[in-house]
Amino acid sequence: MARNLMDDSYYKSTENRPLPVKWMAPEALLYRQYSSASDVWSFGMVLYEIWSVGRKPYEQLTNQQVIDNLDSKMCHPPPPGCPRAIYSLMVSSWHPEQRQRSTFQQLYQSLSQPEELLLSWSEEEEEVSELARQLGADHAHSQNLYNDLQNKYLNDTDMY
């Protein structure tokens, strides 16, 4: 997570160093602006990486393609085996508008819920595909899970 502790609001990088593009928030990529909100975005990407059993975010895209597609507002599809509550945390971390992202305090409160709530599947979700609920399965099996969350930001117009 990229943050300068000298400033509580944000840090603007002026150095040209290699960056972990696929884990970085849009404002960090576009304006080199780092904040707690950009750290939340990165945390959401790490959650994705964990629940996808080590797959990197945007694995099929080059760094340049990730940058070129920043305004698409599409969320990663959920990794197979990822319950709705966990995927919802990821999506709330990826809000295109940094002021609208969850805070670490909100994420902590959500993750402090009982396991039964965090890791549960509804009957409707269980009917999608058995492989969609299997951790580590091919990502094609979970493409149609939680479409409402995947498309959450498509209609937002005031971004970046």
Q: What are the residue ranges spanned by the domains of the chain?
A: 20-150
Give the CATH superfamily of 20-150.
Transferase(Phosphotransferase) domain 1 (1.10.510.10)
**What number of other Cβ atoms are within 10 A of residue 125's Cβ?**
15
Question: pLDDT tens digits for 43-62?
Answer: 999 999 999 999 999 998 99
pTM: 0.84
6 or 46, greater pLDDT: 46
Question: pLDDT tens digits for 126-142?
Answer: 888 888 889 989 888 88
Instruction: Show Cβ contacts of residue 17 under 8 Å, excluding neighbours closer than 6 positions.
Output: none
The angle at the Cα of 117, spanning 116 to 121, to the nearest 5 degrees, equals: 85
Find out whether 18 and 44 touch, Cβ atoms under 8 Å. Answer: no
Residue 16, pLDDT score = 74
Grouping H, G, I as helix, E, B as strand and the rest as coil, residue 39 is helix
Q: Which amino acid is at 93?
A: S
